[in-house]
Amino acid sequence: MEFSAKQIAELLQGQIEGDENAKISKLSKIEEGEPGSISFLANPKYNHFLYTTKASLVIVNKDLVLTGPVSTTLLRVESADQAFGKILEMYNQVKLNKSGISKLSFISESAKVGNNIYAGEFSFVGENVKIGNNVKIYPQVYIGDNSVIGDNTTLFSGVKIYSETLIGKDCIIHSGTVIGSDGFRFAPQEGHNQKIAQIGNVLIEDDVEIGANCAIDRATLGSTIIRKGVKMDNLIHIAHNVEVGENSFLAACVVIAGSTKIGKNCMFSGQVGIVGHLQIADNTVIGAQGGVSKSITKPGEIQLGSPSFDINKYRKSYVHFRNLDNIVQRVDKLEKQIELEKKEN
């Protein structure tokens, strides 16, 4: 699609400096700008690229002061960062605006399908599934029996949804993610580990985004629950009967063991591990590679380390840890001095 600089200015309520008829058909970084592209400048570290970029249109802050001539057309707005974010969102919507049901897809006769859905090649929709309006099901997605997919939800290629899974509205689930596989429960017996049937399900509320290659296990009984607004990075494992509270953020490689309850607005950095059957209070922050072995009951606590503990205590302890070799050498020297004094006496 092609737009003029004037059309974009009207959309973003900005002021044009230059050619209002400049044609825009693609996006670019300012340092990689080329004719026909639109870019933005928000970080002063990149100011010098404004005078060399070949982009046809650059979004800048209203208060930017030029220090030389520019060949590109400028679009001045209150916040270049936010304005370009709006452009990115529009571009993404156009790019992902797929519709229609492929002849190579399979939808069970007992399934109920909403309006304006997209079902790509080799996608599968099982018995008694309910699919809302404007749902996008990319190629090779599997949706098991009795599952529910809410309005405006997108399932990218290769997502596997086991039976009885409930997914809310406006969710995004990226490729390779598996939702509803069995929880890891076995009863050790002599010569044999007896598998415990997992007959619960997974409930994902509205406005949840789940990255690529994540695994969310079904509950033994009841539900594994991902509350509304949760955002999950790639390669995350959520075990059976876990509950993740509203608007929490989980970075890559987070692992949460069975039956742990996570509060609202929590933030877990990469490779955080949390053992099972814990309670984690609202607004908890765990730093990268943190290992949580005890419940956190005080809201807003920040922890680091493995096992994790209060960040201020961790930082003080880390100073001592870094000096540990010097401390050992000093102790060795003192012990030798004491032994020498004993011999002299």
**Catalytically active residues, by annotation:** 240
CA 126, CA 111: separation in Å to the nearest integer? 7
The answer to whether the beta carbons of residues 215 and 178 sit under 8 Å apart is yes
* Environment class of 226 (CB within 10 Å of its CB; exposed 0-12, middle 13-18, buried 19+): buried
Distances (CA, A) of 271 to 4, 53, 261, 267, 326: 45, 39, 18, 12, 31
- Expressed in angstroms, the distance from the first to the final Cα of the chain is 94
SS3 string, the chain, reads CCEEHHHHHHHHCCEEECCCCCEECEECCHHHCCCCEEEEECCHHHHHHHHCCCCCEEEEECCCCCCCCCCCEEEEECCHHHHHHHHHHHHHHHHCCCCEECCCCEECCCCEECCCCEECCCCEECCCCEECCCCEECCCCEECCCCEECCCCEECCCCEECCCCEECCCCEECCCCEEEECCCCEEEECCEEEECCCCCEEEECCCCEECCCCEEECCCCCEEEECCCCEECCCCEECCCCEECCCCEECCCCEECCCCEECCCCEECCCCEECCCCEECCCCEECCCCEECCCECCCCCEEECCCCEEHHHHHHHHHHHHCHHHHHHHHHHHHHHHHHHHHHC
